[in-house]
Structure 1
Amino acid sequence: MNTHFKAIHEQYVFWLDTLGFATETVCNYGYRVTDFFLWLESKDITHIVQAEQKHINDFFDCQQTRPNTKFKGRTLSASYLNDYFTAIDKLCEFLHQMGARTSLVPTNRRITIDESQRIRRIEPFTVEEIKMLQEAINHLYPHLDHEHRQLKQEQLKLVFVLFYACGLRLSEGYNLTPAEIDFNRKTIFIRQGKGYKDRIVPMSDNVYKALQHYIYNFRNQIRCGHDRLFVQKKITLSVDLHYLHQQCDNEEIKHKRLHFHVLRHSIATHLLQNGMSVENIARFLGYGCLESTQIYTHIINR
């Protein structure tokens, strides 16, 4: 990306952050705008004043037809495409607020998400499958020395403690610090969850013991340049979770998608199956409305 587009990108990301957008959203929109600028350069457009409204529409058309690099045989999902549309609309808004002389205007282009189709794609793991995945962690990375093997195994165990047992979103769990865990009250304080809402998540006895073990016997023994509970970077955790999925011998597990959010879907489904009310599950997960929690009723009935 040339220096001109890099400068705009840097100012755009700073502008989003100043407006109070969540860190995840700022990064997400930043990536989408980078893709747009690189696409412009591929069309021999090296300055924003050269870009026209048709270029935005052509870029959007390109995204809607290009193959999904993560899932072969698919195109990009509606929610993924909507991220592109919103990010570029925000870029147009930013350029106008900065006084740029450009004809680019927000398109307000969005794809309506088929909720029934989205629900059909959710495949939570059973309690037995979750146990199989957790048990498999102790057998991973036999080729690594003890220190590095322990680091990766302990981090994966923590993934299941937070994203499954506590039902946390990716950003909520990854940004958690030991200071936000109250062992006396057996609660976890989630700061600035989705919609900038704080909430308190209760700990079960198993979660309580697992977090105590991790913090006092592992996390406190490691020096690193941040105060997050997780030692490693987010991308490393994703790679390790993918590796666990690959190494699992169970064919039913292998045919399902394993990612952080499906662990959250799984605990919600299990809680509903065990008789917890939809209202309590909504509070536990940090949903702003009951409609979001109703999807788990549909999953169970399915």
Structure 2
Amino acid sequence: MNWSAKLINHRDEERIAVEFEKDKELIQRIKLIHGARWSQQKKLWHVPDTKENRERFHIIQKDTKISQEGQEHLKQFIRWLSSKRYSPNTIKTYSDALRSFLVYNQAKNICEITNADVLDYNNDYILKNKLSASYQNQVISAIKLYFRTVRKTKIEVDKIDRPKKPKTLPNVLSKEEVKNILDAHANIKHKMMLSLIYSCGLRCSELLQLRPLDIDSKRNIVLIKQAKGKKDRITPLSPKILELLRTYYQLYKPKTYLFEGQEPGTIYSPKSLQSVLKQALQKANIKKPVTLHWLRHSYATHLLEGGTDLRYIQELLGHNSSRTTEIYTHVSTKSLQQIKSPFDDL
């Protein structure tokens, strides 16, 4: 059986891509590996980049050692991030990114690293390995933040350039498509989770962190605490959603979180929530590669098309900058539908 394996970065995650001609036995074998997934976009199977999987697929282990000095600086950086109360996810993202940069420059003392070394890292590691612009941006953020905390350095932080950001538009569903997705589940818990994401424009993490007390039925609002950027915000609660929530609450009686896992008091897993959406898409016969974030994008766009002021949408989504919210004006069809194509006059 012929197959090949290589290291890839898929959606900012280090993975091992396994390619082979369609073979039922190989497919069954790879499915047994924990974390194995099929990429419809890349048309290949990929598994987590672990020591066990590298040995399994004969991937030569690259040098991932970090100098003793680098280890000490990395520890200090993590302590500094923690003292600034960065979220655990951000701390992991930044520390992993900095580790990658320090591994690349392990032959140099920290104080000897220059802007030229950052340029070499971008060209000889990130671009060479075809890593994404968003991952490169994460590394640059970590390097900038880190070297601002280091006193003796040759790095000029303000002269470190970020990659050119691609101008992509948010993916938006029609109201009919959203309705089909939300109506797909007979299970009220699954229906409730997807409905709340769309009706309030929530991020996945925001939904899973909700607690029963965050639903204010007297004022018809949802309180979203310590969301992205350590910010609290409120969003209107639809009367239809409130009715659905009351039915859900009577059936499930959640204790700690509004949506709990199999064990009472435990948080519902993001992976399970993604699975809920996947099942809804299959039942609704929607072939688009819809993600949970598409529901948030659709909420914002539908608000804009309904006449809601952009400033209010910015507050509802929790955006720091109005520029972030303005992107929805490019996908709203309200104004576009009023434009008559010259083709119609032919």
Q: Which amino acid aligns with 2:161?
A: R
Which structure carries more helix by proportion? 1
| Structure 2: segments with no counterpart, 5+ residues | 1-64, 337-346
- Equivalent of 1:52 in 110, 113, 130: 113
- Equivalent of 1:128 in 149, 162, 176: 176
Equivalent residue runs for 1:211-290 within 5 Å? 211-218=245-252, 220=254, 227-232=256-261, 236-238=269-271, 240-241=273-274, 244-245=277-278, 248-249=281-282, 253-256=286-289, 258-290=290-322
The one-character-per-residue Cα deviations of 1:220-247 (angstroms, maximum 9, x if unpaired) are 26xxxxx443435999424642574377
- Residue in structure 2 matched with residue 146 of structure 1 by the alignment: none
State how far apart, in whole Å, the 1-side matches of 2:93 and 2:267 are. Answer: 14
The one-character-per-residue Cα deviations of 1:132-179 (angstroms, maximum 9, x if unpaired) are 3234444xxxxxxxxxxx7xx83x434423321111234433332222
State how far apart, in whole Å, the 2-side matches of 1:87 and 1:235 are. Answer: 30
Identical-pair percentage: 26
Which structure carries more strand by proportion? 2
Equivalent residue runs for 1:1-302 within 5 Å? 4=68, 8-37=73-102, 39-40=103-104, 45=106, 49=110, 52-53=113-114, 54-61=116-123, 62-67=125-130, 76-77=132-133, 79-96=134-151, 103=154, 106=157, 108-114=160-166, 117-119=167-169, 122-138=170-186, 154=189, 156-218=190-252, 220=254, 227-232=256-261, 236-238=269-271, 240-241=273-274, 244-245=277-278, 248-249=281-282, 253-256=286-289, 258-301=290-333
State how far apart, in whole Å, the 1-side matches of 2:76 and 2:244 are. Answer: 42
- Residue in structure 2 matched with residue 145 of structure 1 by the alignment: none
RMSD of aligned Cα (Å):
3.6
State how far apart, in whole Å, the 1-side matches of 2:241 and 2:194 are. Answer: 10
CA radius of gyration, larger in: 2
| Structure 1: segments with no counterpart, 5+ residues | 69-75, 139-149, 222-226
The one-character-per-residue Cα deviations of 1:25-60 (angstroms, maximum 9, x if unpaired) are 3343233234435x43xx7x3886497335433332
Question: Aligned with 1:217: secondary structure?
Answer: helix
The one-character-per-residue Cα deviations of 1:60-101 (angstroms, maximum 9, x if unpaired) are 222234335xxxxxxx13x442222011221222343xxxx6
Q: TM-score, normalised by structure 1?
A: 0.69
Question: Aligned with 2:222: secondary structure?
Answer: strand
